[in-house]
Structure 1
Amino acid sequence: MNAETEMKEKISGMRSKSPDEKEVGQVLSIRSYGRAAEDEDRVIDPVLSHSDNMLLADIGYKPELARHFSTFQVFGVAYSIMGLLPSVASVLGTALSAGPAGAIWGWVIAGVGIESIGIAISQLGSSCPTSGGLYYWSNYYAPEKYRSFISFLVGNTNSMALVGALCSVDYGFAEELLSVVVIGKDGDYDVTPAKTYGVFVACVFSHILLTCAASKDCARLQTVSSVANTSLILLFIIALPIGASPNFKDAATIFGKMENFSNWPTGWQFVLSWMPAIWTIGSFDSCVHMSEEAHNATKAVPIGIIGSISACYVLGFVVLVVTCACLQTNNINDDIIGTKFGQPMAAVIYDALGKKWAMALMVLICVCQFMMGASILTAISRQIWAFSRDNGLPFSFWIRRVNQKLSVPINAVWTGGVIAIVLGLLCLIGSTAANALFSLAIAGNYFSWATPILLSMTTGKSKFRPGPFYLGKFWSPLISWFAVAFAAFIIIMVMFPTDQNPGKSDMNYTCVITPGIWILSSLYYWIYAHKVYHGPRKTIEDESEVSYEQNLNMTAEDGLQKEKLKTTLGL
């Protein structure tokens, strides 16, 4: 009896499964995803496969990035990108477009749908953690005839949506920073599109340089950013009521006063007020894109996604209630939405706390918003790197290069940053065109999230193998179908303009940009990309390439887990 046969019998002969043996079962299910596992006669070494890198190798990819991200830091990537208070500040005008009640109840309702998408994505990420997760899963679950095209479309859309999110975050930063200048000059400062774009470009360049730092430094930044964002929220919900006291809005106004500052019907304007939650609690797929740098990725990814969504959902509700309670004016449209400061949150803080406190808090908001941009560029670079690894982008041979010393795909970082600068030229048209950057991120991401969820429940239903996080045969499909329906509705909703009869100044360019990306991606695929892109490709040729002794990314913790599993199996 050889060693492999003996190992098989030891595993199959066990009467009950310990937690370690469940990990072995997870490995054996993950093998079905990878091209490296196409040979069904090949026996996977469960001791080696217990490590994250061996799970990745069994999917078919050679590990190239060091695993410096803890579970908290994976959570921190998404939580930092959401950057609750800076994000709410960026879209507060939209939130209040249906009055205080519209802002609060819009957040509550939209949050339920977002949580359902997060749960569905978490189940896919727990089952098969890889940086290119969304397009990888789409390829695996799609029908054979269309899988490469669908995967290519999802990969391109997700990449551009993340870039759009970076644009919207850094554009929000530029607006917030310039609002500080306006406050400092008592409104005697003209904020032009050119000035806004200049600050935006400087911000993106600084993020490029910051993200090119070593992977372990980027991991530490997520911890710092998470603590900073939470501290800022606590400062805000304590300081603002103190300054606004005793002039608070009553509960009937906060939770029951629905207004309409547009020419849409009030019901539809209330639906449009969901946008702040939809934009703020987004980009949680960044946890998926960091999975090849995370310890225990099958558990870290779902914890990061669901944890970040839940934290922002609850804290966001508190922030909005405090903000609406502390409004010092009854004329929200003119004094808050149309404020001379160019930033509604700046007006709210200024009215409640005065000039000095308004400047101080807005500076702190800017700092946290800046860290948001650094976090999202980190996620963008990993998505772009993963997609180029599979030849999904032009110049993939250059983009996919990794700086082994820093464990950073530096070329992918620069690619994402430069595309953001080009796309950010919309800022020069004006604020309405710049708002398309917000909607582009939403429409693209929701399409990229919904596609693999839908495919995993239809054409690829028989292929799905649950990971450690799975809600069972009843709740899992129920939540996933609700998530797909919600995503479809949101994609349509974000295409609508802010006015019933839009002109050049209030046109929603999302209905042009997002379908344009889909059309251009399709044309590029059929003209050229189909020759080089055939879905996720096998980058590891031999199992020995990631043997325990040669695995450069293996940590001391992995070694301890290996010995523990050896003992369990009696090896």
Structure 2
Amino acid sequence: MSEERKSVETKDETVLAGLGYKQEFKRAFTPWESFGIAFSIIGLLPSMASTLSFSLSNGGPVSMVWGWAVVAFFVMFIALALSELASAAPTSGGLYFWTYKYSSPRWRHLTSWIVGYCNTMGSIGGVASIIWGCAVQLMAAVSIGSGMTFVPTTAQLFAVFVALLVLNGIIASTATRVLARLQGIYATINLVLCLAIIIAIPAATPKEFKNTASYALGGFANLSSWPNGWAFILGFLAPLWTIGGFDGPIHISEEVSNARTAVPWAIVTSIGIAGILGWVINVVLAFYMGTDTAGILSSPIGQPMAAIFFNSFGTRPTLVVWSVVVITQFMMGTSATVSTSRQMFAFARDGALPFSRLLYRINARTRTPVACVWAAVLGAFAFGLLAFAGPTAISAIFDLPVIGQYLAFSIPIVARFTGGRPWRSGPFNLGSWGLPVGIIAVLWQAFNIVVVSFPSSTDPTPNTMNYTAAVSGGWIIFCLGYFFCPRYGGKYWFKGPRANIEIEDASQSESGSVDEKERGA
């Protein structure tokens, strides 16, 4: 190891110690690999494939192109606000740690508890939705290979989902150095796949599927019963879910070299690149998918983007391209599981999760939180059981990450400006722009929590009802019940982040950490 790198790692450890934690992970992630985990979790093309049906049925080309542009623009405000916080206090606990640090003493125990549990729900829901999408994509490949004669049952899809989850857990349990190198590979494959599709579709699509500019950029196809304006807004779910999970670098910040700079830039650059590339891909699809959106959605392939590829490339080339999409989606799942396990590890380190003593463990061989990896897999499995309640119920796992993460993102941003606690910025600093950026970020997230809770039709039935509010609401009721439970609830023993290292002089720490009494240790 070079002297320069040793110096950087020593500085990272000093910053972490100032936050009250000892260095337990190896700092094996480079800035490029930190970007890689964010961009891999976004998993641009496979994520777009998993959610294309939402924009196709709620606006068609207009929703795909302009709905994406609106969402990408506003999501950047969230990225900027979180990046300031990540630069000021880079720890795997991230969101709930910042909530506790900056909230008023009266509310910080409850708010950090809520944020931690919302972050956990959103992260596990993200793993479940990614792997479920991968299972659907894999079965779509089987359908294409069978000449559209094979239609998977729910039980078959669930079996594939479980198998992928287990394989995903095995990979996510490997050593930090291995996981770090994989993120660089994942990011490269994601970028190459996006560029290949942007070039290949215009070159290969038959004339009958090519659209005019007026249709591609202005065609509106509303297959829902909602008015056109609201249908367009409901189409936001596709880019909202796709450009999500970008808190991944935050949760591996104790494994990143030069975390105070690398983590915020990983968040901002991943969102920027995903926003631009995703918009270009949507424009290409709108120009070369034909005009029969209903036909694409009802294709026997069972996957709208696979149907578009089939129309453009034919059977064999589609299978080749689609196999890369499936592999990339699976890579996305392993990255999301790594991020989720680190968040759960940090929350268990502070004693907030059930079975925290079992979860707060570093595997002696891999130096990773293997117990938390498999806890995340088990939680994703539980969410996957929604498949047996019907297609509408399973679609709730695509909304859950949005609600869980947006609640967890919003509260620390609000706490920073309203809690009255001292603020000391890190190297990534917006200066006077921090407040307006934070306000826009919070308002945007509040609006979209409402949007993703709406049903797909104006007259919902048990089969068309949006169960997201019920599932996420049930989770929040559980976390509040656990907090206020008489005698045994977190209200009586949760004291926020707990230092596991002695701080000799916190006032001199670069991180601006609070002292032991203030942290409730």
Alignment check: 8 A CA contact 1:391 1:532 kept: no
Aligned equivalent of 2:435:
477
Whole-angstrom distance in 1 between the partners of 2:53 and 2:365: 45
Greater Rg by CA: 1
Aligned equivalent of 2:257:
295
| AA of the residue aligned to 1:290 | I
Confirm or deny that 1:70 pairs with 2:27.
no
Alignment check: 8 A CA contact 1:49 1:55 kept: no
Whole-angstrom distance in 1 between the partners of 2:18 and 2:63: 49
Among 281, 295, 306, which residue is 1:319 paired with?
281
Whole-angstrom distance in 1 between the partners of 2:275 and 2:103: 32
Alignment deviations for residues 490-518 of structure 1 (CA, whole Å, 9 cap, x no partner): 11111001111111111111110111111
**What does residue range 530-569 of structure 1 map to in structure 2 within 5 Å?**
530-541=491-502
| AA of the residue aligned to 1:516 | G
- CA shift, 1:360, in A, is 1.2
Aligned equivalent of 2:16:
56
Alignment check: 8 A CA contact 1:48 1:54 kept: no
**What does residue range 476-515 of structure 1 map to in structure 2 within 5 Å?**
476-515=434-473
Alignment check: 8 A CA contact 2:221 2:293 kept: no
Alignment deviations for residues 223-252 of structure 1 (CA, whole Å, 9 cap, x no partner): 110111111112211221111154421111
Aligned equivalent of 1:283:
245
Alignment deviations for residues 264-291 of structure 1 (CA, whole Å, 9 cap, x no partner): 0100000011111110001111110010
Distance 1:204 1:49, change over 3 A: closer
Aligned equivalent of 1:145:
106
Whole-angstrom distance in 1 between the partners of 2:279 and 2:364: 43
Confirm or deny that 1:345 pairs with 2:302.
no
Among 209, 212, 216, which residue is 1:254 paired with?
216
The percentage of counterpart residues that share the same residue type is 37
Alignment deviations for residues 65-110 of structure 1 (CA, whole Å, 9 cap, x no partner): 1100001111100100111000011111111121101211000001
Alignment deviations for residues 196-228 of structure 1 (CA, whole Å, 9 cap, x no partner): 111111111001110111110000110110111
Distance 1:510 1:143, change over 3 A: same
Aligned equivalent of 1:427:
387
Aligned equivalent of 1:458:
418
Among 175, 178, 181, which residue is 1:220 paired with?
181
| AA of the residue aligned to 2:204 | G
Whole-angstrom distance in 2 between the partners of 1:419 and 1:346: 29
Whole-angstrom distance in 2 between the partners of 1:379 and 1:442: 16
| AA of the residue aligned to 1:149 | L
Among 490, 505, 517, which residue is 2:475 paired with?
517
Whole-angstrom distance in 1 between the partners of 2:434 and 2:472: 30
Among 83, 91, 107, which residue is 2:68 paired with?
107
Aligned equivalent of 1:406:
366
Among 154, 167, 184, which residue is 2:115 paired with?
154
3-state DSSP class of the match of 2:221? coil
Whole-angstrom distance in 1 between the partners of 2:281 and 2:90: 33
- CA shift, 1:407, in A, is 1.6
Q: TM-score, normalised by structure 1?
A: 0.85
When structure 1 is superposed on structure 2, of 478-487 and 89-98 the one drifting more is: 89-98
Alignment deviations for residues 172-202 of structure 1 (CA, whole Å, 9 cap, x no partner): 0010000011111111112111111111111
When structure 1 is superposed on structure 2, of 138-147 and 374-383 the one drifting more is: 138-147
3-state DSSP class of the match of 1:151? helix
Aligned equivalent of 2:517:
none
- CA shift, 1:542, in A, is 5.8
Aligned equivalent of 1:230:
191
Whole-angstrom distance in 2 between the partners of 1:49 and 1:145: 36
Aligned equivalent of 2:267:
305
Alignment check: 8 A CA contact 1:193 1:429 kept: no
Whole-angstrom distance in 1 between the partners of 2:374 and 2:446: 32
Whole-angstrom distance in 1 between the partners of 2:49 and 2:262: 29
Whole-angstrom distance in 2 between the partners of 1:543 and 1:60: 10
Alignment check: 8 A CA contact 1:115 1:310 kept: yes
| AA of the residue aligned to 2:372 | A
| AA of the residue aligned to 1:282 | G
- CA shift, 1:531, in A, is 3.1
Whole-angstrom distance in 2 between the partners of 1:99 and 1:207: 33
Confirm or deny that 1:378 pairs with 2:338.
yes
Aligned equivalent of 1:13:
none
| AA of the residue aligned to 1:385 | F
Aligned equivalent of 2:351:
391
Aligned equivalent of 1:560:
none
| AA of the residue aligned to 1:191 | P
Whole-angstrom distance in 1 between the partners of 2:374 and 2:312: 42
| AA of the residue aligned to 2:269 | G
- CA shift, 1:113, in A, is 1.1
Aligned equivalent of 1:7:
none
| AA of the residue aligned to 1:500 | T
3-state DSSP class of the match of 1:457? helix
When structure 1 is superposed on structure 2, of 243-252 and 346-355 the one drifting more is: 243-252
Whole-angstrom distance in 2 between the partners of 1:296 and 1:93: 40
Whole-angstrom distance in 2 between the partners of 1:543 and 1:482: 39
Aligned equivalent of 1:355:
315
- CA shift, 1:50, in A, is 5.9
Whole-angstrom distance in 1 between the partners of 2:9 and 2:332: 34
Distance 1:479 1:542, change over 3 A: closer
Aligned equivalent of 1:29:
none
Distance 1:210 1:538, change over 3 A: same
Alignment check: 8 A CA contact 2:131 2:330 kept: yes
Among 404, 427, 434, which residue is 1:468 paired with?
427
- CA shift, 1:49, in A, is 9.6
| AA of the residue aligned to 1:296 | N
3-state DSSP class of the match of 1:91? helix
3-state DSSP class of the match of 2:502? coil
Among 303, 325, 332, which residue is 1:365 paired with?
325
Aligned equivalent of 1:188:
149
Whole-angstrom distance in 1 between the partners of 2:437 and 2:212: 36
| AA of the residue aligned to 2:271 | I
Whole-angstrom distance in 2 between the partners of 1:518 and 1:259: 36
Aligned equivalent of 2:158:
197
Confirm or deny that 1:445 pairs with 2:411.
no
Segments of 5+ residues of structure 2 without an aligned counterpart are 1-6, 506-521
- CA shift, 1:136, in A, is 0.4
- CA shift, 1:529, in A, is 2.1
Aligned equivalent of 1:239:
200
Whole-angstrom distance in 2 between the partners of 1:279 and 1:49: 34
Q: How many residues align?
A: 494
- CA shift, 1:530, in A, is 2.5
Aligned equivalent of 1:555:
none
RMSD: 1.4
- CA shift, 1:48, in A, is 9.9
Alignment check: 8 A CA contact 1:122 1:301 kept: yes
